[in-house]
Structure 1
Amino acid sequence: MEEDPFAVLSDDLLLFIFNKLDTVHLCYIALVCRRWRYVVGQQVRKVHVLVLGKSLKQYFHIPNGRQILSIVRFFSELEVLSFRNWPWMERFSEVASVVMRELRSTTLKKLDVGGLPVQPIDVWALGYNCPNLYSLKLGGCSTVDDEFVKQCVRRLRPHLKELDISDSTRITTAAVKFAFENGVVRLKASRCKRISGALVINHVPKGNESRDDEHCLTLTQCKNINWFHLDRNLRFATINLSQCTSLEYCHVYDDALQNLHLSGCRNLRVVEVASSSLKVVNLFSCTQLSEEIVYKLIKSCPALTEINLAGLYFASHVQQWLLENRLMNSLKLG
C-alpha cells in the first residue's frame, strides 16, 4: 500500500493549503477523511458570510435541495446567508424555501432570499430553527404582501430589527405601519408602487419598549406617496424619501431625526421639521419649495450643519442670508 503523501504534512500546512480553496471545495474535501474534516473545520469557523449565487454554477449543472442544505449546514458559525443572483431561477427557484424550512442555526443573523419565492410557512420554520435572526431581506419576492409581512414580524419578533421589502408589488402602507408598531427599527420599502396616498406614522412606544436602536426608514422611488407625516417622537435617525415624485407635503416631528433626504421630490411644496438633532437635509431638485419654507426649516433646526439646495433658483439668496446672519461657518450649503 502506498504511503499517504499528506500524512507527513502538519495540520498548519494543510490549513495553509485549504485557505486557497473556495467554500464549495472545502465542503467536498471535508468528506475525504476525519483529519481533513477537522482541519477544514478550523478554517470554516472563520467563514461567517455565504453567498449562494453565481459562484455555484461552476460546480453544479442543476443542484438539488439536499446538496445546497449540506453546503449551508457545513458552516456551523454562519451569520449571513444570501441567495442573491441565484442562477437557477427557472429550474430551482424554491431553493430558499427548502433551506428556510430545514436549516437549524443559532448563529444565523441575516438572511437575504434574493427575490426567490418563499411562503409564510417557511418563515414560521425559520423563526423556530434560527432564533437569533434579526435581519430579513424579502426584496423582489413575488409572494410577499401585507399579510405575509405581518406574519413575518409576529413570528420573528422580538429579535427581528431589519426588514427589506423593496420591489414588492403587493405591499401597501399598512405593512409599513405594522412593521414599525411591532419592533422593526430599520425598514426599506423602495419602489413599492402600492404604497400610496398618505403615510402617517404616529405609533406611541410602550413604556417598557427599548428604543436604543437607530431607526431608519427608506422609501426611495415610491412614486405614489403624496403626504408623509411622522410624529410622537419615534426616534428615527434617518428618513429617506428621495425620488418620491408625487410627494407634496412632509411633516416630521421627531426630536431624534438627524438625516432627512428628499432629493428628487420635484412636487414637494411643504417641509415642516421639528428636531433639535437634525444635521443633514438634502433638498436637491425640490423645485417647488419656496424661500420661506427653507428659511423656516433652518431656523427650526438649531443643530443643522448641511443643507443641499442645488437646483433651487433661490439657493444664492439663502447663501447671502446665511452670511448676513453669520451662520455660514456653522452651516454648509450644498
Structure 2
Amino acid sequence: MLFRALCHGLCLGLALMANAQAASVVFLNPGLSDETFWVSYTRFMQAAADNLGMQLQVQYGERQAERQLAQVRALLRSPHKPDYLMLVNEQYAAPEVMRLARGSGIKLVLVNNGLTRSQADAVKAQPGSYAPLLGALITNDEQAGYQMLRDLVASLPATSGPIELLAFSGISTTPASQLREQGMRRALADFPQVRLRQVVSGGWSRQRAFEQAQILVQRYPKVRLVWSANDEMAFGAMQAFEAAGRVPGRDVLFSAINSSPEALRARIDGRLSALVGGHFSLGGWAMVMLHDDALGLPLDRDGHTVRTLPVLQPIDPAKARRWLALQERADYGIDFRRYSAQGKASDYRYPFLTSPVDY
C-alpha cells in the first residue's frame, strides 16, 4: 500500500509538472516594440516564464488597436492555440478581443487596464457573446497619481503664496491614464495653495509633450511643478523647460511614473523630484497565477477575480540605485516559484496582491 501510494504521488507530481511546463501564454502587448516601458514589461514576464517553465509569446500592437485585433484573429485561426491569452484594455479594445475569442477554449486574463464600468455592464448583459475572463489584475493607478503629486509638493522648499502646476495626462481612452489623473486631482484637494493651470493629453509621447510644453512654458511662466503620467512625457516637458532656461530640480520640479533606467537615473541626480514605478512587474505576477491555474490550483480562493495590486510604489534615490542594478540581471534577482501556491497550505495568499514586492 505504501509503495502504491508513493507511486501515485510521484505520478501526480510529474503530471502537475508537465502541465505547468506545457502552459503556454500569448501576451498582446499594446505598446511599441521599442518602447522602454513595454519592453521592460515583457522582460519581466519572460523572466517569470523561464523560472516557472512556461512558454511565452509576445505580440506587439505598436499602439494600434486594429493591429492587435488582427493578431487575435490570426491567433484564433492557428492550429496551435495557446492555453492563455493575456491582454490590456488599451484604447478600450478588450471587449472586442473577448467577443472574438468566444468558444475558442483559450483562457483570457486582463492586466493593467481593466474593463470600464460600462464595458463590464455590457458584458454582463450578454455573457454568451463574450469569452469569460479568468481574472483581471489592475495596477493601483489612482493611488499612484495621488501619491506622486503629494511627493512632488513635499519636495518644494517652504514657500508662501500660490504654487502653479501643469499636468501631462496620457491617452484619454486608456483607463490607467484616467485613473492617474483622477488621483492627481484628488491630491489637489489636500493642497489649496497649488493651482492647476492646465492638463494636456501628451499621449504618452516625449515628442508631443515637448511640443506642448514649449507653448505652456511661455503661457505659464510661473509654473513650479510639472506632474506627468509617465516618464516619456516628463522628459519631453523637461526638455522644453530647459530650453527656456529653467533648471529641473531647482526652478521647476518634475514627477513621473515609470522605472526605466533613464527615470531611475534622473531620480538619483535630482532632475526628477518624485518618481513612482513598479507596474512593469504586474505581468510577471500574472504569470505566477497562470502557472498555478495550469496546475488546477484555484485563483479565486479569496473570492475575487478582479484585483488591484499595489505594484506602483514611490522610488527614492536609494531604491532607484538598487533597481538599476537589478535591471541588469536577466532574472531580476527574483525566484518566482517561491510566490506560487504550489505546495502551500490551502489558506495561502499571494503576497503581491496585498503589498508591493521590494526587489
- Shorter-normalised TM-score: what interval? under 0.3
User: Bigger relative contact order, structure 1 or 2, given CA contacts below 8 A and separation 6+?
Assistant: 2
